Amino acid sequence: MKKVFFSLLAITLLQSSSPKKEQTPNIILIFMDDMGYGDLSCYGAVNYRTPNIDKLASEGIRFTNFLAAQAVCSASRAALLTGCYPNRIGISGALMPYSKNGINSNETTIAEMLKQKGYATGIFGKWHLGHHKEFLPLQHGFDEYVGLPYSNDMWPVYYDGKPATPNQNASTYPVLPLIQNNDKKEEIKTLDDQAKLTTLYTEKAVDFIRKNKKNPFFLYLPHSMPHVPIAVSDKFKGKSKQGLYADLMMEIDWSVGEIMKTLKENGLDKNTLVIFTSDNGPWLNFGNHAGSSGGFREGKGTSFEGGQRVPCIIRWKGTTPEGVVCNKLASTIDILPTIAQISGTELPKNKIDGVDILPLIKGDLSESPRKTFYYYYRKNSLEAVRMGNWKLVFEHKGRSYMNQLPGNDGFAGKAPEDILTPMALYDLRRDPSEQYDVQKLYPEIIAELQKIAEEAREDLGDDLTNRKGKNVRASGLID
C-alpha cells in the first residue's frame, strides 16, 4: 500500500513540476475608421477624456510611430487583414456599392490563418472588402458577421440627414444594408439608425466573448465611426464639452471599457491580446465632425503623416510591459505576421510585406524590426518612401486640406485633389510636421531612399513613373 501511495505521490509531483503548456491567447483587434492621431486623451486630445483606452495604454504599449498601410478605407483594411501593401493584392481606394471587385479568395486573412489553431472568429462592424457574397467575411475565415458592407456615408441620405434629392450625388446610392452573416438583416435609413451602431457592435462583441470563453477566439471589431456621418446614442449625446465628435469618442471609449470588463468577468483578462488602432487619419474637411491629426501634416487621403500615422495601443497582460511608449517604426501590415508568431500558425503562402514586431510588444525597444516603409496612394502611386526617420516625398498631385475652410455640423468643406506637392526630404525626428525640406543638406540620404523607391517600383510598380510591378496580384472580381 505504501508503494502505491508513494508511486502516486511521485507522479503528482512530476506532473506539477513539469512545465505547463502555454495556452494560445485570444486576440481582439479594434479598428477605428478615420480616427486621428490626436483623438485619444493619451495622445493629447482635449476637452474630453478616453479613460478606458488610456488605461489600456497604461497597462500595455503605446506606439507613436505607427502607420496605417494606406490612408483610405478598403486599401487600409485589405492590408491589415492580409499583411500586404494593398496594391500588392489589387485593392485600392474605397470600394463602392457598385464595385465588382473585392478581396481575392487566394489571399489569406488573419481569420483564415488562425483557423489552423481552431480559433473561433467573429467580425462586428464595417467590412469594406467587397459587398458581393463571395467577398463577405464568412467566405474569408470568419464564423460570424454583423455589420455594414462598406462605409456608412454610402447611402441615399444628404449631409443634413434628410433623403437625398435627385440632383444630389448621394441619391445614386442604394439603401445602406446591415448584414448578418451573408444576408441583409435590416436597412439603415436615418441618423437615428446610425446612432445605434456603436452599441450594436459592442453588444455583439461582448456576446461573442462570452460564448467562446472556453475556446481561443479572434474578435475583429472595426467600428463604422468616427467616419462621417457621425451619430451617437442618447447615453452619450451632449456628454462632452466639445460637441458630437467628442461625444462619439466617449462612446467608443465606453465600448472598449465593456470589452475589457467582459474579459475580466470571464477570466480571460490575462490571456487576451488586445490591439487598438485606426485605418487612417481624420477627414479634416468635415471640420467639427472630424478628428485631429495631432499636429501632423494633412489627413485622410494623403501620404503625409496626418494621413497615415495613427494611434496604436497593444495590451497583453503578463507579456507587454506596462506603460511603455514605443517610438519605433511599425505598421498595420505587421499585425498578421506578429499574430502568426504568437499563435504558432503558418504564414500565408503568398508573399506578404509585414514583419514580426513581437520583440517590441514584449518591450525590447533595442530592436527595429521595420526599417523601411512605402507610402502608396491612389491606384498604385508611390508618393513617398521612408527609412527610419527619413522620409522622401516624390512630386505628385493629390488631396490637400491646407488653406481650405473646413465644413461644419456634418457638411464637407473643400479638399481639392489636384494640388501639386513638390519633391522634398524630411527628417521626421526633428520635423514630424513635414515643414522643412532638407534635400540640399543630405544628398547621400536621398540616394539611399531612391534605392529603396526603386526596389518598391520593381516589386510593386508605380503609376507616377509608369512602372509595372513584378509581384502584384489581382483582386477578386465577379463575372
In DSSP notation, 279-300 reads SS---GGGGGGS---TT-S--T
Question: Whose CA is closest to 277, among 251, 229, 310, 228?
Answer: 310
For residue 326, indicate whether it is catalytic.
no
State how far the Cα of 397 lies from the Cα of 383, in Å rounded to an integer: 9
pLDDT grade, residue 451 (50/70/90)? very high
Question: Whose CA is closest to 213, among 23, 26, 30?
Answer: 26
Q: Which residues contact 12 (CB under 8 A, 6 or more apart)?
A: none
Distance of CA 298 to the CA centre of its chain: 18
The 3-state DSSP class for residue 19 equals: coil
Question: Whose CA is closest to 245, among 263, 262, 225?
Answer: 225
Question: Whose CA is closest to 362, among 328, 387, 336, 333?
Answer: 328
Pairing of strands 390-393, 419-421: unpaired
Peptide bond into 226 cis (omega under 30): yes
Q: Mean of the per-residue pLDDT values for the chain?
A: 95
pLDDT in tens, 75-121: 999 999 999 999 999 999 999 999 999 999 999 999 999 999 999 99
For residue 289, indicate whether it is catalytic.
no
Per-residue confidence (pLDDT) for residue 241, from 0 to 100: 84
Q: Which residues contact 3 (CB under 8 A, 6 or more apart)?
A: none
Q: Which amino acid is at 424?
A: A
State how far the Cα of 338 lies from the Cα of 360, in Å rounded to an integer: 10
State how far the Cα of 178 lies from the Cα of 341, in Å rounded to an integer: 34
Q: Which residues contact 151 (CB under 8 A, 6 or more apart)?
A: 33, 73, 94, 126, 128, 224, 227
State how far the Cα of 422 lies from the Cα of 442, in Å rounded to an integer: 17
All cell numbers assigned to 363: 518591450
Longest CA span, the chain? 93
Gyration radius (Cα) of the chain, Å: 23
State how far the Cα of 416 lies from the Cα of 263, in Å rounded to an integer: 45
In sequence order, the β-bridge partners of residue 421 are 396
Active-site choice (42, 73, 84, 312): 73
Question: Whose CA is closest to 134, among 100, 184, 166?
Answer: 100
Per-residue confidence (pLDDT) for residue 23, from 0 to 100: 74
pLDDT in tens, 228-244: 999 999 999 999 989 99
**Is the pLDDT at 15 greater than 70, yes or no?**
no
Give the 3-state secondary structure of 310-347: CCEEEECCCCCCCCEEECCCEEHHHHHHHHHHHHCCCC
Percentage above 70 pLDDT, the chain? 95
State how far the Cα of 236 lies from the Cα of 255, in Å rounded to an integer: 12
pLDDT grade, residue 3 (50/70/90)? very low
Per-residue confidence (pLDDT) for residue 22, from 0 to 100: 54
Active-site choice (42, 84, 128, 289): 128
**Is the pLDDT at 1 greater than 70, yes or no?**
no
pLDDT in tens, 38-53: 999 999 999 999 999 9
To which residue does cell 475608421 refer?
Answer: 33
Q: Is the distance from CB of 231 to CB of 200 less than 8 angstroms?
A: no
Average pLDDT of the segment spanning 276-302: 98
Distances in Å between the alpha carbon of 383 and those of 11, 250, 416? 64, 35, 17
In sequence order, the β-bridge partners of residue 28 are 219, 274
In sequence order, the β-bridge partners of residue 36 are none
**Is the pLDDT at 441 greater than 80, yes or no?**
yes
pLDDT in tens, 52-80: 999 999 999 999 999 999 999 999 999 99
